Amino acid sequence: MSRTVQQAIDSARLTINDKDASRFANADMVGFLVDGLNYARQIRPDLFLGNFGTDIDTLVLTAPLPITSQYFRPMVDYLIGRCEMTDDEYASSGRAELMAKLSTGFLT
Render pLDDT for 75-101 as a digit per residue (tens, 0 to 9). 998 899 888 887 665 555 666 566 666
CA angle (32 as vertex; 78, 84 as ends), nearest 5: 60
Give pLDDT tens digits for 57-78: 889 999 999 888 888 998 998 8
User: Residue 25: how many CA atoms within 13 Å on its side-chain side?
Assistant: 3
Angstrom distance (rounded) from CA 104 to CA 2? 21
pTM of the model: 0.79
Question: What does the domain layout of the chain look like in residue ranges?
Answer: 5-107
